[in-house]
Amino acid sequence: MMAGLLSTQYNSALSKLNLLRNNPALSVLTSTQRQYSSKDGAGIEYLHKSVVPTMHYQKSLPRLPVPKLEDTIRRYLAAQRPLLNDEQYSNTEKVTRDFQSGAGKQLHDELVALDKNNKHTSYISAPWFDMYLSARESVVLNFNPFMSFNPDPKPEYNDQLVRATNMVCSAVRFMKTLRAGLLEPEVFHLNPAKSDTDRFKRLIRWVPPSISWFGAYMVNAYPLDMSQYFRLFNSTRIPKYKCDELLTDDKGHHLLVIRRGNLYVFDILDRDGNLIKPAEVHAHLKYILTDPTEAPSFPLGVLTSENRDTWAGLRQKLLDAGNGEALQLVDTALFCLCLDEEVMRDHIHISHNMLHGDGCNRWYDKSFSIILAKDGQAAINFEHSWGDGVAVLRFQNEVFKDTTEKPLVGPGSQPASVDSASAVRRLGFKLDEELKAGITKAKENFHAAVSKLTIDAMEFKKGGKEQLKKKKLSPDAIAQLAFQMGFLRQYGQTVATYESCSTAAFKHGRTETIRPASVHTKRCAKAFVQQPGQHTVEQLQGLLSECSKYHGQLTKEAAMGQGFDRHLFAMRYLANSKGMALPSLYQDPAYAAINHNILSTSTLTSPAVSLGGFAPVVPDGFGVGYGVHDEWIGCNVSSYPARNVHEFLKCVYKSLEDIFTVLDGKPIH
């Protein structure tokens, strides 16, 4: 009976969740649907004390469904159609149908059987970890994204030392709240008036965890997977030959701080595991900020930007040279705080600094780093293998709320009179000539890579979410359509496009792909860009509506685990792990092309976040971070020399202008 309730009621309920998507921004939905509670009496140790235990819903979360093979084939062919000419499509259709009746059927059946035997997790979890950890490219640009904090509304609290102290204290309070099981569970509320209430919380806490999800479902609330959260703290990615490992050691009581490429540690928790006095944190950070030690000629952090096999070899040499204890302190630190020397000039400078920086004042392998520029501009840069940003954004929202509403130190605060010189330890490393040469080479490789990256941003102020909703159009669909129109205007073609969608509504869900390039967007973009005079305003409005409906359907399917990308990926992974000959579908040039994502996109809107960004995932691509706000639309886009990002943003701006002109009932020229 329970399984029946799950499959019918859950799917029908989730169909309302048109918004439940987008990595890394999923948990922003929850922050707009409910206030994170910060109850009085939580004391200095905790952010709040949730009535419902943090992991209360985890046990009863529904499992990520393995889609039906015929649905995956249909969705895959629909996504291929706008990217191929008739001859190419005909060939791909044949290869795909052969797969469906042959190797695909066998792999699908095996995947379903495997999934049934592993009910504690999802079918995508292990292959996805393996994909990230086996990748040998540098994590910088290729994987680590950033999300920058909005400034503190009180300007005097943006002082680097004050803000760093407050952020560190709030981060530790978050960690303590999480580990005590007192952090509010992550829940998507469709009817907050019913489910985000003290009355409901007092009731649901008595429902056993094995069925608690259903209790939330009854009031239209959808708990989200929180299995990634434990990797936030005391965690790092360890480079190993061929496949890296994730390390989490929650016994570490210390913080890692990097300034001028020098690495420092000090205990942020006392012997009992409690946060040391904020005035002491203040004193220790002040000591580090005023330390006259010069930048090292051979900064160790830059090694974390290297090719993973190269870094694995050099790490082994570091261990052999007697640096094991220092490396262990880095690896097991609660998290990393990077104190930068530069003042940020503008948004573009912030993006470059927070995405990659100078390579020397970072430890890119830590699960996350809080970066603070000289002027108090702050951001989080995070390693991507352990999680998809759901946990990071929740953490960021909570830290921003706590530091701005209840800061523990202020501009007038005096640091404690403590002996920071003995409490703070600057780590020293024994380096032989081979290690020094490795660091020098890593610096060269780093600068060669980041020098090719261009970032530009755009703000469209002539309309946003409010106007689009009035016209019954999906704001996300219109933003994605503008990217399709912009690319068509600039390059005259429709290309593989990726929009990330969280599947955190399921146990151990990761992400699914929305494929925004469709026959609908292609038809609409062509009408707007290449044939503006050949359609009436009403016809163009009709095309916009079609695109919106179809994109809404794709979004809903992806959020429900009903895309095609992860299913095809898991079957390919299974074939590889069995040593099977690779089925012809995976050797089809069209399969390679649809996975060569020239437009890689991810959306983000949050009260805590100013902007987010990442590099393109292919050399001839764009990395498109965007947000549709109530009255405006913003984009933060990156590219390599093969593409012109400035021109692309002009074309996207023009596309948005045309769309809003048509929505106003006026013709375009």
Distance (Å, whole) CA 581 – CA 171: 48
Per annotation, catalytic residue among 384, 508, 551, 567: 384
Active site residue 384: yes
pLDDT above 90 coverage of the chain, percent: 91
Which of 561, 399, 500 minimizes the C-alpha distance to 17?
A: 561
Query: Given a cut of 90, is residue 105 above it in pLDDT?
Result: yes
DSSP letter at 8?
Answer: I
CA 245/CA 129 separation, integer angstroms = 10
Using DSSP's 3-state secondary structure scheme, residue 314 falls into: helix
User: In angstroms, rounded to a whole number, what is the distance separating the alpha carbons of residues 616 and 593?
Assistant: 15
pLDDT tens for residues 19-49?
333 333 333 322 333 333 434 446 678 999 9
Percent of the chain that is helix, strand, coil (3-state, to 5): 45, 15, 40
For residues 123-139, give the mean pLDDT.
Answer: 96
Segment 430-445 mean pLDDT? 98
**Residue 375 pLDDT:** 97
- pLDDT digit string, tens, across residues 557-574: 999 999 999 999 999 999
> Beta strands 609-613 and 633-639: pairing type?
unpaired
CB-neighbour burial class of residue 537 (10 A; exposed 0-12, middle 13-18, buried 19+): middle
* pLDDT band (50, 70, 90) for residue 16: very low
Mean residue pLDDT of the chain comes to 93
Triad 519, 521, 525: Cα angle to 5°: 120
What digits encode the pLDDT tens for the residues 176-220?
999 999 999 999 999 999 999 999 999 999 999 999 999 999 999
Query: Cβ(661)–Cβ(462) under 8 Å?
Result: no
- Going by pLDDT thresholds of 50, 70 and 90, the confidence category of residue 532 is confident
Nearest to 81 by CA among 521, 579, 562: 521
Q: What pLDDT score does 489 carry? A: 98
Residue 145 pLDDT: 97
Cβ neighbors of 396 (< 8 A, separation 6 or more) are 147, 149, 380, 606, 608, 609
Band of the pLDDT at 517, cuts 50, 70, 90?
Answer: very high
Cβ-based neighbours of 207, under 8 Å, separated by 6 or more: 215
Residue 605's pLDDT band, with cuts at 50, 70 and 90, is confident
Residue-level pLDDT at 42: 60
